[in-house]
Structure 1
Amino acid sequence: MHPPLPAALDGPTGRDWWRGLLPLILLLLSACAQAPRAPASDASRWADTTMGQPAVVPDVEAALRLDPALQAYLEHTLRPAARRQGALLALFEALRSSDIRVVYDASTTRTAAETFEARSGNCLSLVLMTAALADGLGLSVEFREVLTDTQWSRLAGLHVGNTHVNLALGPRPSPFASVLLAPPQTVIDFLPPEAAGKLPARRISRQRVLAMYLNNRAAEWLTQGDLATAQAFSLAALAQDAAYPSAYNTLGVVFQRHGRADLAERAWRDGLAQAPEHATLLANLAAALRAQGRPAEAQPLEAVLARVEGTAPFVNLSRGLAALRAGDPAGARDWLLRELARDPDYHEIHFALAQAELQLGHPAQALSHLQRASAESPRPELRSLYAAKAEHLRALGVH
């Protein structure tokens, strides 16, 4: 499953994925061959940078913990079903049934227990809940990062890049079994099985998944303006996996928001030491250097960024929204159509195009974009907003 600015912030969350002082900061959220386990982060490196007491102390174990409700479901429903039909099929059928089927919601990264209670979450939330139950049933669990293009979204002034994670389950193999005779695995994902099974993916460690969870929560605290808690979760993510570049990126954004450009630069450079072509780290550091009057240092970073990323996300969306505010719907539509070519499924682009088309006197086209915005939005409250606006147009006779 990712996750999440005035330049760039990193972290998995599914289809729709997020954005201080700089014009743009990007976050990358998560929502996965086995990557080597990274050494623990050197906490002393950041010991003198704390911003005060966090509102919530990171609890790493909570991500996969079975609370009483989840434990009861495991004991009284899943285990009896597993005795009848096998553990893998019992869990697979439960995930498909109304019992524990999870509705996609990108707004929050939930623990296993929280996902079970809410029956909703992003792709990482689904992975955590499923892994916790699979562990309880004695199944093998392989965490996977899906190798697709980063998907971008915007939230609270931040641009957020989202990666996608899922997991593969199977019987726990005998230590004496040949690798060639290993039992087949079943991929669990929000995507349909035929799509999820065909997408390229790489195995990632449990430590990386926990780092993704903590980093997503850091980004969520950051969007709420709680820098102390965001920092605490970023550092906890690095303590799990010191090679996870997205956690360095989030930590850098926290420092940037705190007014410590020196520490932000240190965090971003540490992240680039782990991943020299990481787009959000490159974008954030380059933007920070330019803002400090250091263009000669920014240029090499920008050259690498242009090679690996191409056009920065939401540049044309921002231009289109500016044109709308300036009363130029035709110009806005031109910019927005360019953005739509980069990401044809992002809800905010369709919503802005609906506004432009309505101002141009094209209500049918506006209705079409509102319907796409509602269909593509990952957040229930936005789906409802777009649907209500579409219904208003239909009430006026627009079809």
Structure 2
Amino acid sequence: MNHFTKQHTFWLVLIFTFMLTACQSAPIVKHVSGPIFDDEAFPSAKHISIESEKDIFRLDKEARTYVQQTVGHIQDPIERTETLARSIFKRLNFDLLYRGDANTTANETFHNRAANCLSLSIMTYALANEADLSVRFQDIQIPEYWTRREGVSLLNGHINLQIIPQARSTNSFYLYKRGYQIDFDPQTQKKHFPRKILSKNQVIAMFYNNKGADALINNERDLAYAYFSAALKVEPNFDSALVNLGFLYRVSKLFDLAERVYLIALASSPDNLTAWENLAYLYAYSNKPEQSAEILARVESKRLRNPYYHLDLGRRDYDSGDLQQALAHFNRALAIDKTRHEIFFALAKTYFALGEVAETERYLKKAKRTAKNMQEKELYQGKLDLLSRS
């Protein structure tokens, strides 16, 4: 069963999941060295044009004019920051379709009606820079969280922005330490997850990683290799890109390279469960069942208190037609976290497949109540309307 990771907002890492319950001690990561790229295995990759840093953050005349008309007349840095933020959210609320696979540059996001959180953050970063505001990216340390796309599990990360107002004149001094958080997922604000500052290069690597993961989902292996390589040339220790590159090598039967990049990822991020899981799958595929089982048991034990883990297992049971087992996993997820609309919707969808209309309606209403934005609430209301007419 395919499991990808996508950086939030988004990065994708491909993983396979096994079910074991024994608890084992943490495996020791052995040190490895050597090249991690194999350009000869993906000969078309060298002809692929990859977006540059300038391409990713560029704004055209229309976008720059939008900034000037919105805040160009405002001198107070706090007011300028607040006005720009309000304007961006107002524009998005009226004209945005959220799409997880919409990995677009700042300028494309400004003009398109579809975006994901990473592309929105990149666009907002560029707009804030155009407004002479100090802005930086933050990595939000959320629990492992999966979504599904085209039968593939996507492991999501999340980033947001911090804008710190600063005076426009070099002769003035303005101090405002707190800054403003701009986050396109309000749930992360409520949970107060830990966060760390990201460099611009790290965000560029995330952008490349997302593009590579989308290519890999579409089985465009040379394109995926081009993007994963670009990500790792910008950020050599980016574990998500390393794991995705390892997956690409595994499906391309480059097993030694796959193991090397997994171990390199784990050397820098020893708690990366996705990397461990991919390594375990590789060992199972390479006829090393004992090593595989030891790793998988440890991964399983660490994930049992994560509601999204049970949600993902339930979704895969649903896809395979095992509706009762799907319900069991969804109810385990709900027992851990009763605030996520995705869990209620998963229960509603499963009960609908079982023909239980009353339970379907009950959980759809709960999904609507816990949804975090109007787009999702309207989606659930639409399903309720259809249900009432059936």
**TM-score band, normalised by shorter chain:** 0.7 to 0.9
Q: Distance in 1 between the 2:256 and 2:374 partners?
A: 39
Q: Distance in 2 between the 1:382 and 1:55 partners?
A: 40
- Report percent identity of matched pairs: 26
1:248 to 2:242 alignment = yes
1:220 to 2:214 alignment = yes
Describe how 1:255-266 pairs up with structure 2 within 5 A.
Answer: 255-266=249-260
Deviation at 1:151, TM superposition (A): 1.5
1:152 to 146, 150, 155: 146
Q: Distance in 2 between the 1:233 and 1:126 partners?
A: 20
Q: Are 2:345 and 2:367, in contact at CA under 8 Å, matched by a contact in 1?
A: yes
Q: Distance in 2 between the 1:194 and 1:335 partners?
A: 24
2:111 to 107, 117, 140: 117
State the partner residue of 2:328: 334
Q: Distance in 1 between the 2:358 and 2:339 partners?
A: 19
Structure 2 unpaired stretches of 5+: 19-33
Describe how 1:338-349 pairs up with structure 2 within 5 A.
Answer: 338-341=332-335
The 1:44–1:257 alpha-carbon spacing in structure 2 relative to 1, beyond 3 Å, is closer
Q: Are 2:37 and 2:229, in contact at CA under 8 Å, matched by a contact in 1?
A: no
Q: Are 1:153 and 1:346, in contact at CA under 8 Å, matched by a contact in 2?
A: no
State the partner residue of 1:98: 91
Describe how 1:1-399 pairs up with structure 2 within 5 A.
Answer: 6-13=2-9, 24=17, 45-53=37-45, 57-61=49-53, 62-81=55-74, 86-98=79-91, 103=96, 104-172=98-166, 183-192=177-186, 195=189, 198-306=192-300, 308-310=302-304, 312=309, 314-324=312-322, 330=324, 332-341=326-335, 350=344, 353-358=347-352, 360-370=354-364, 389-396=383-390
Q: Distance in 1 between the 2:155 and 2:220 partners?
A: 20
Deviation at 1:234, TM superposition (A): 0.9
The 1:114–1:268 alpha-carbon spacing in structure 2 relative to 1, beyond 3 Å, is same
TM-score for the superposition, normalised by structure 2: 0.78
Q: Are 2:147 and 2:153, in contact at CA under 8 Å, matched by a contact in 1?
A: yes
Q: Distance in 2 between the 1:350 and 1:257 partners?
A: 35
Q: Distance in 2 between the 1:228 and 1:394 partners?
A: 48
Q: Secondary structure in 2 aligned to 1:97?
A: helix
Structure 1 unpaired stretches of 5+: 26-41
Q: Secondary structure in 2 aligned to 1:80?
A: coil
Q: What's the CA shift string for 1:242-264, capped at 9, x where partnerless?
A: 12100101111222233333322
Q: What's the CA shift string for 1:258-293, capped at 9, x where partnerless?
A: 333332222212211221110111111111111221
Q: Are 1:169 and 1:187, in contact at CA under 8 Å, matched by a contact in 2?
A: yes
Q: Are 1:112 and 1:128, in contact at CA under 8 Å, matched by a contact in 2?
A: yes
Q: What's the CA shift string for 1:266-323, capped at 9, x where partnerless?
A: 2212211221110111111111111221123324433542454347552344335445
Deviation at 1:190, TM superposition (A): 1.8
Deviation at 1:182, TM superposition (A): 5.2
Q: Are 1:24 and 1:158, in contact at CA under 8 Å, matched by a contact in 2?
A: no
CA RMSD, 1 decimal: 4.1
Partner AA of 1:96 in structure 2: F
Q: How many residues are paired up?
A: 368
Deviation at 1:222, TM superposition (A): 1.6
Q: Are 2:162 and 2:181, in contact at CA under 8 Å, matched by a contact in 1?
A: yes
State the partner residue of 1:28: none
The 1:99–1:256 alpha-carbon spacing in structure 2 relative to 1, beyond 3 Å, is closer
Partner AA of 1:143 in structure 2: F
Partner AA of 2:316 in structure 1: S
Q: Secondary structure in 2 aligned to 1:107?
A: coil
The 1:377–1:84 alpha-carbon spacing in structure 2 relative to 1, beyond 3 Å, is closer
Q: What's the CA shift string for 1:25-75, capped at 9, x where partnerless?
A: 9xxxxxxxxxxxxxxxx9884444435247852213222111232223234
Q: Distance in 1 between the 2:42 and 2:71 partners?
A: 44
Partner AA of 1:70 in structure 2: A
The 1:24–1:199 alpha-carbon spacing in structure 2 relative to 1, beyond 3 Å, is closer
Q: Distance in 1 between the 2:13 and 2:338 partners?
A: 19
The 1:160–1:82 alpha-carbon spacing in structure 2 relative to 1, beyond 3 Å, is farther
Q: Distance in 1 between the 2:76 and 2:173 partners?
A: 26
More moved, 271-280 vs 86-95: 86-95
The 1:79–1:164 alpha-carbon spacing in structure 2 relative to 1, beyond 3 Å, is same
Deviation at 1:332, TM superposition (A): 4.7
